[in-house]
């Protein structure tokens, strides 16, 4: 019997997951209809699996009379996320659906920026006074557990004035002698976040310290709530996705790729492409200055794509490495000198290797097919030296631009790519024709 | 008194963190010396904060007689990570330092691939038989807590044959009537991982279900261990870092940027740069076929960088979007047709807009500076049409290549960039000169 019941339940569980996938392909009216067709308990499990955006859209779409029980199903931090997703004009109505104490908590959460610890934290956590005994604490927590707690992994010892005094893990509380006090057990060497700590920093704190939850305190050390690691997993995924999309030359998407509307996707891509395009137009002007040289030595034109792309590739490689190291907190502004020394050497060596490759390619083709005429050695020298210069320049400027951008308060991830691309392309052309006019003077030029 | 003691402890705690930062700048001998100078309790806290690599290096560097207590300080999953970092020849020696039961657990963990759930899981978790009462379970757990548990967030109900029957959260156990059984309380609709589930998939499971821990079972449903979300935070950061570095055209680094050795960093960068460089050499051959056209209409040369970079930018934008969506599980192989329809339209519209921009730029310059001579309108048409074509081609091929690469079993993140770049650059040149020969025939060509 029992195992049959379990199997039935387990099947239902699998259905919810499968359902979620097909459900996400529907438009909002179909979504609501399918949702309302579910048995209540399954619908509740389903609802709690959704993103804040999807929860909001369902609530927004359903008849007003049915909204309350769904809003009240959510813990305060999730309810606040749903309210964040709503239009300003709907906020008060949604808040009105909550019970009074929860509404107060949600309002307090809404006062924080969405990306800060204050906006991510849950105001319900396991708290005791430092001077109660282990047995008292356990029986107190047994009474409080269902009503108030999201996470019972840590118990926070909070003084009468709401200052955070220490933390006891559940494991320690559980295994301690019954008569000891919380103060005897608690760890006071705490990792805490401020309510204005941003979520990227929070992600780093969790990754570094391997904690299940981090308490959030205000400037005076008063306990405000906790951020749990399961909420941070989403945040870390999101932050990485944003950086990847920005590095790829898109504004960060607000929703998954397939769920982003066509025009919304278009507007987030076309803007950066247009900025890059306008930047690259400078290359046409730069080339214009060398039209005479090009006319006298047409062969130079053949290698322009190679020169340009070598600079662009080395630049985007270096800037990506530095941007990610900055996002992980591995490299800070103060490290710029260490990075520049390293990148000058890396750039020179890579430039040398690619330069030799370029030189060899031209000479080998010349031997095989006599492609480049009597001055092939000089052409190969021009290309080799230019590649070396442009790779070095690309590497160094690619690694330094994220520092400059962060220094002036811009996001290195979103602005580095276009700057590096334009800078390196224009420099590449100028360098190439300058080297050519030195090497080929008196022969081709 | 008490508050003084707390403050002193808290200061010591801050020192450990500060110490960690400066300590990481030292070489290994200096590191060991500084570490050995710490008071024992502080050294232990410090040791547990380190990465597996750093823990291994310390243990490797210290006199053999001191290694045992440090290896034994580690929980089994972390001890396994340290053994993973060691040379093959040292493995048995390190394993010999552990006590017998832990060694068996660590050996079992080492049999799994490092990136699979089996390699990440902890074999110690809170387990009870399904038929014990709530009160029995609580007092049992109180006895077991310190010795065996890493995480007590969930209690796993395991049948006598080791099959996982269900899960009770600590909160539910705690707030339940004392006489109920675990079977009454347990949830049987479980999210479980297989021991060979890979870590990227685990990360998605945690992000989707907001769980604190996921149980790991073998093919017969036998409980093997748990993976906790705090271990997954590192994994998600690592996976994202790998993808970002690959998209940026580097092999994934094994250590933070500043800690990666100079030659190791160089080798991970130069290889892809060289592959890209060799690919781009094809552009020189492609251009070679149009040398005559270029000689007759030198003005065409001015826009080569613009054409090439427009294709490259739109291609890398599209491939980055698709690669990230694939990594997050938002897009699967079966979605290729939806993606291609979407990207054809996106590419056409973006191409149209950039083409108009290019056309306008040339005509405006012509009006202002008479830069492009009597056929400026035809030149502007050539550039506009080519930009439109190359942006559409770049967008579509950039979005489809990750599908192709994954289909044949390659990692889309590491291989898309060079393929897209070469493909789009060569196509861009061919397209540009083909359009030119149509539009400019009888005038410039």
Check CB contact under 8 Å for B309 and A283: yes
Check CB contact under 8 Å for B170 and A170: yes
Residue of chain A whose alpha carbon sits nearest to that of B10:
A189
Q: With a cut of 60, say whether residue A327 has pLDDT above it.
A: yes
* Closest CA relative to residue B203, chosen from B165, B244, B233, B173: B233
Query: Hey, is the C-beta of A249 within 8 angstroms of any chain B C-beta?
Result: yes
For residue B409, the distance in angstroms to the closest alpha carbon of chain A comes to 22
For residue B353, the distance in angstroms to the closest alpha carbon of chain A comes to 8
pLDDT at A150: 54
Q: Looking at beta carbons, which residues of chain B come within 8 Å of A308? A: 305, 308-309
CA atoms lying within 13 Å on the CB side of residue B59: 31
d(C-alpha A324, C-alpha A88), whole Å:
35
CB B376 within 8 A of CB B363: yes
Nearest to A2 among B183, B257, B421 (CB): B183
Query: Hey, is the C-beta of B310 within 8 angstroms of any chain A C-beta?
Result: yes
In the structure encoding, which two tokens stand for residue B43, read together? 């050294």
CB B385 within 8 A of CB A308: no
Three-class HEC string of chain B = CHHHHHHHHHHHHHHHHHHHHHHCCCCHHHHHHHHHHCCHHHHHHHHHHCCHHHHHHHHHHCCHHHHHHHHHHCCHHHHHHHHHHCCHHHHHHHHHCCCHHHHHHHHHHHCCCCCEHHHHCECCCCEECCCCEHHHHHHHHHHHHHHHCCCCCEEEEECCCCEEEEEEEHHHHHHCCCCCEHHHHCECCCCCEECCCEHHHHHHHHHHHCCCEEEEECCCCEEEEEEEHHHHHHHHHHHHHHHHHHHCCCCCCCCCHHHCCHHHHHHHHHHHHHHHHHHHHHHHHHHHCCHHHHHHCHHHHHHHHHHHHHHHHHHHHHHHHHHHHHHCCCCCHHHHHHHHHHHHHHHHHHHHHHHHHHHHHHHHHHHHHCCCCCCHHHHHHHHHHHHHHHHHHHHHHHHHHHHHHHHCCCCHHHHHHHHHHHHHHHHHHHHHHHHHHHHCCCCCC
d(C-alpha B207, C-alpha B233), whole Å:
10
Nearest to A346 among B16, B269, B328 (CB): B269
For domain B127-230, the CATH superfamily is CBS-domain (3.10.580.10)
Residues 6+ apart with CB under 8 A from A84: A52, A110, A114
pLDDT, tens digit, 9 for 90 and up, residues A190-238:
889 988 888 888 888 887 777 888 889 888 888 888 888 877 887 888 8
pLDDT at B2: 36
d(C-alpha A327, C-alpha B245), whole Å:
13
For domain B2-115, the CATH superfamily is MgtE N-terminal domain-like (1.25.60.10)
CB B128 within 8 A of CB B157: yes
Check CB contact under 8 Å for A421 and B313: yes
Check CB contact under 8 Å for B310 and A9: no
Query: Hey, is the C-beta of B266 within 8 angstroms of any chain A C-beta?
Result: yes
Q: Please determine, looking at this structure, whether the domain spanning A127-228 carries the CATH number 3.10.580.10.
A: yes
Check CB contact under 8 Å for A189 and B266: no
Nearest to B207 among A234, A302, A309 (CB): A234
pLDDT at B397: 93
In the structure encoding, which two tokens stand for residue B234, read together? 């590192």
pLDDT at A275: 86
Per-block average pLDDT, block size 10, for chain B (445 residues)? 35 57 81 88 84 88 88 85 86 89 83 76 76 79 61 79 86 79 87 86 82 86 84 82 83 83 87 86 87 88 90 89 87 91 94 94 89 87 96 94 89 75 88 93 82
pLDDT, tens digit, 9 for 90 and up, residues A382-396:
999 999 999 999 999
For domain A2-111, the CATH superfamily is MgtE N-terminal domain-like (1.25.60.10)
In the stretch 103-132 of chain A, residues with CB closer than 8 A to chain B read none
For residue B389, the distance in angstroms to the closest alpha carbon of chain A comes to 15
In the stretch 150-209 of chain B, residues with CB closer than 8 A to chain A read 151-153, 165-166, 170-172, 174-175, 183, 188-190, 203, 206-209
CATH 3.10.580.10 positions along chain A are: 127-228
For residue A87, the distance in angstroms to the closest alpha carbon of chain B comes to 26
d(C-alpha B108, C-alpha B87), whole Å:
18
CATH code of the domain made up of A257-439: 1.10.357.20
Check CB contact under 8 Å for B280 and A306: yes
φ, ψ dihedrals at A130, nearest 5°: -60, -25
d(C-alpha B354, C-alpha B367), whole Å:
20
Q: With a cut of 70, say whether residue A3 has pLDDT above it.
A: no
In the structure encoding, which two tokens stand for residue B417, read together? 């960039």
Q: With a cut of 70, say whether residue A142 has pLDDT above it.
A: yes
Nearest to B142 among A175, A233, A371 (CB): A175
Q: With a cut of 50, say whether residue A9 has pLDDT above it.
A: no
Check CB contact under 8 Å for A277 and B358: yes
Q: Looking at beta carbons, which residues of chain B come within 8 Å of A349? A: 266, 270
Check CB contact under 8 Å for A303 and B284: yes
CA atoms lying within 13 Å on the CB side of residue B379: 24
Chain centre distance of CA B411: 12
For residue A34, the distance in angstroms to the closest alpha carbon of chain B comes to 21
Check CB contact under 8 Å for A330 and B257: yes
Maximum separation of any 2 CA atoms in chain A, in Å? 97
CATH 1.10.357.20 positions along chain A are: 257-439
Nearest to A284 among B172, B302, B319 (CB): B302
Q: Looking at beta carbons, which residues of chain A come within 8 Å of B301? A: 287, 291, 294, 301, 304
| Residue of B209, B277, B424 for testing the chain A interface, max A β-carbons within 10 Å | B277
Check CB contact under 8 Å for A249 and B425: no
Residues 6+ apart with CB under 8 A from A142: B174, B175
In the stretch 63-102 of chain B, residues with CB closer than 8 A to chain A read none
Query: Hey, is the C-beta of A217 within 8 angstroms of any chain B C-beta?
Result: no
pLDDT at A171: 74
Q: Mean per-residue pLDDT for A352-376?
A: 90
Nearest to A244 among B145, B175, B243 (CB): B243
Q: With a cut of 60, say whether residue A147 has pLDDT above it.
A: no
In the structure encoding, which two tokens stand for residue A406, read together? 């962060």
CATH 1.25.60.10 positions along chain A are: 2-111
pLDDT at B152: 61
Q: Concatenated DSSP letters for A419-442?
A: HHHHHHHHHHHHHHHHHHHHHSTT
Nearest to B229 among A233, A280, A291 (CB): A233
Q: Looking at beta carbons, which residues of chain B come within 8 Å of A230? A: 206, 210-212, 229
Residues 6+ apart with CB under 8 A from A109: A76, A77, A80, A118, A119, A121, A123
For residue B59, the distance in angstroms to the closest alpha carbon of chain A comes to 20
Q: Looking at beta carbons, which residues of chain A come within 8 Å of B9? A: 188-189
Q: Looking at beta carbons, which residues of chain B come within 8 Å of A320? A: 244-245, 247-250
pLDDT at A5: 34
| Residue of B317, B369, B373 for testing the chain A interface, max A β-carbons within 10 Å | B317
Residue of chain A whose alpha carbon sits nearest to that of B356:
A274
What does pLDDT average to over chain A? 84
* Closest CA relative to residue A97, chosen from A56, A57, A69: A69
Check CB contact under 8 Å for A308 and B310: no
β-strands A213-217, A193-194 pairing: parallel
User: What is the pLDDT confidence band of residue A8, given thresholds at 50, 70 and 90?
Assistant: very low
φ, ψ dihedrals at A114, nearest 5°: -60, -30
Nearest to A294 among B13, B298, B317 (CB): B298
Nearest to A248 among B281, B317, B354 (CB): B317
In the structure encoding, which two tokens stand for residue A204, read together? 């780093």
| SS3 category, A139 | helix
In the structure encoding, which two tokens stand for residue B22, read together? 């400066």
Residue of chain B whose alpha carbon sits nearest to that of A349:
B266
Q: Looking at beta carbons, which residues of chain B come within 8 Å of A16? A: 189
CB A370 within 8 A of CB A341: no
Burial of A92 (0-12, 13-18, 19+ CB in 10 A): exposed
Inter-chain CB pairs, A–B, below 8 Å: 379
CA atoms lying within 13 Å on the CB side of residue A113: 8
pLDDT, tens digit, 9 for 90 and up, residues A254-300:
888 888 888 888 888 888 888 888 888 888 888 888 988 888 888 89
Query: Hey, is the C-beta of B287 within 8 angstroms of any chain A C-beta?
Result: yes
* Closest CA relative to residue B208, chosen from B191, B194, B221, B223: B191
pLDDT, tens digit, 9 for 90 and up, residues A290-325:
988 888 888 899 999 999 889 988 998 899 889 988
Query: Hey, is the C-beta of A406 within 8 angstroms of any chain B C-beta?
Result: no
For residue A89, the distance in angstroms to the closest alpha carbon of chain B comes to 30
Name the residue with higher pLDDT: A186 or B132.
Answer: A186
CATH 1.25.60.10 positions along chain B are: 2-115
């Amino acid at each position: 019997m029992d195992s049959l019941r379990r199997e039935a339940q387990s099947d239902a569980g699998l259905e919810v997951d499968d359902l979620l996938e097909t459900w996400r392909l529907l438009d909002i009216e179909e979504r609501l209809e399918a949702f309302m067709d579910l048995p209540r308990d399954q619908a509740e499990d389903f609802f709690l699996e959704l993103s804040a955006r999807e929860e909001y859209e369902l609530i927004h779409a359903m008849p007003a009379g049915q909204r309350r029980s769904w809003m009240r199903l959510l813990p305060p931090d999730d309810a606040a996320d749903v309210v964040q997703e709503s239009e300003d004009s709907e906020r008060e109505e949604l808040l009105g659906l909550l019970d009074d104490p929860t509404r107060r908590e949600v309002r307090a959460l809404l006062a924080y920026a969405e990306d800060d610890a204050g906006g991510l934290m849950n105001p319900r956590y396991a708290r005791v006074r430092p001077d109660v005994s282990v047995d008292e604490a356990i029986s107190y927590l047994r009474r409080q557990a269902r009503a108030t707690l999201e996470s019972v992994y840590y118990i926070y010892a909070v003084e009468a004035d709401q200052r955070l005094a220490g933390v006891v893990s559940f494991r320690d509380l559980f295994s301690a002698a019954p008569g000891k006090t919380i103060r005897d057990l608690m760890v006071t060497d705490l990792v805490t976040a401020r309510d204005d700590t941003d979520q990227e920093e929070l992600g780093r704190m969790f990754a570094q310290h391997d904690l299940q939850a981090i308490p959030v305190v205000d400037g005076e050390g008063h306990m405000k709530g906790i951020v749990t690691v399961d909420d941070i997993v989403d945040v870390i995924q999101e932050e990485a996705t944003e950086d990847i999309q920005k590095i790829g030359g898109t504004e960060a998407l607000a929703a998954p790729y397939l769920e982003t509307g066509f025009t919304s996707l278009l507007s987030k891509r076309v803007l950066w492409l247009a900025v890059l395009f306008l930047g690259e137009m400078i290359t046409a002007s730069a080339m214009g200055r060398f039209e005479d040289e090009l006319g006298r030595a047409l062969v130079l034109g053949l290698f322009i794509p190679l020169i340009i792309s070598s600079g662009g590739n080395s630049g985007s490689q270096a800037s990506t490495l530095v941007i990610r190291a900055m996002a992980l907190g591995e490299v800070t502004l103060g490290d710029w000198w260490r990075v520049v020394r390293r990148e000058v050497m890396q750039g020179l060596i890579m430039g040398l290797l690619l330069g030799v490759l370029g030189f060899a390619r031209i000479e080998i083709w010349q031997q095989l097919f006599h492609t480049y005429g009597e001055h092939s050695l000089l052409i190969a020298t021009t290309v080799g030296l230019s590649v070396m210069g442009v790779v070095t320049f690309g590497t160094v400027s690619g690694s330094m631009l994220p520092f400059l951008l962060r220094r002036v308060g811009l996001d290195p991830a979103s602005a580095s790519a276009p700057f590096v691309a334009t800078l390196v392309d224009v420099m590449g052309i100028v360098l190439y024709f300058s080297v050519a006019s030195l090497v080929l003077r008196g022969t081709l030029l």
